[in-house]
Amino acid sequence: MSEREQILGRIREALRVAAPKPGLLSGPGQRVPAHEKRPTDFRPWLPAVGDSFDERAALFAKNSAELKTDFQLVANRNELQEKLLALAHAEGWKKIATHAGELTNYAFAVLGLAVVQTGGRYNLDELESSDAGITECDALVAQTGSVVVTTRSAGGRALSVLPPHHVVLARRDQLLRDLPAAFTALKQRYGSGYPSMMCLITGPSRTGDIERILVLGAHGPKKLTIFCM
């Protein structure tokens, strides 16, 4: 018998005796009665989010400020160009890394810098030494201030995590309400074939491992900038 069959066999044997359902015992923290059916809608319990775009944008901005993400709403391409150039100038970018996409193509055209494209196979050292990684995304999540990226929407696995500054270019309609909405969007878009990696990025890389003091840029990007157009 294979190891798989043995383990599954032990599981089935063990499960012949039923375990009590949670929420039936009395004790500390047992203040909520059990649900009739296993819950599938968590919205009534998760942190609240307003319905309108303005409320979502305001919450995203508030979460970003807390997470030390630089979140900027931009009105049009001209403003995006202005802000990108200002950022490139302020940080002295010499080389950027990006992938093919409507917004990213525009960005790298206006920046006019040396570029590493991660669409196909690329040189890892080149990517590692880039000053910024510019990507698109699948969604922004107001509830948590997160960016959803996948290997398909953001030029592979490494582009959004290896360069020291991650710049996200998003559209207004990508700003979703909450985590349930984000997972629904992923399912709708990729349900028939998921990318090999999807990630919910919430703020620049961080650690609190030394005396529980927050330090940004532990292994991933030290800065995260999001332009929402």
Site for another protein in 139-198 (CB under 8 A): 144-146, 151-152, 155-158, 161-162, 178-180, 182-184, 186-187, 193-198
Report helix, strand or coil for 73. strand
Q: Select from 92, 188, 192, 212 the one that contacts another protein (CB under 8 A).
A: 212
Ranges within 19-58 binding another protein (CB under 8 A): 19-23, 25, 27-35, 38-40, 42, 44-48
- Write down the least CB distance from residue 88 to another protein, Å: 23
C-beta of 78 vs 207, nearer to another protein: 207
d(CA 154, CA 178): 21
- Write down the least CB distance from residue 153 to another protein, Å: 12
Closest Cα partner for 202 from 216, 186, 187, 185? 216
- Give yes or no for residue 119 binding another protein (CB under 8 A): yes
Apex CA 115: angle with CA 137 and CA 204, to 5°? 45
- Half-sphere CA count of 43, side-chain side, radius 13 A: 11
C-beta of 46 vs 86, nearer to another protein: 46
Closest Cα partner for 68 from 169, 181, 179, 218? 218
C-beta separation of 166 from 133 below 8 A: yes
Site string for another protein, 86-115 (x = CB under 8 A): -------------x----------------
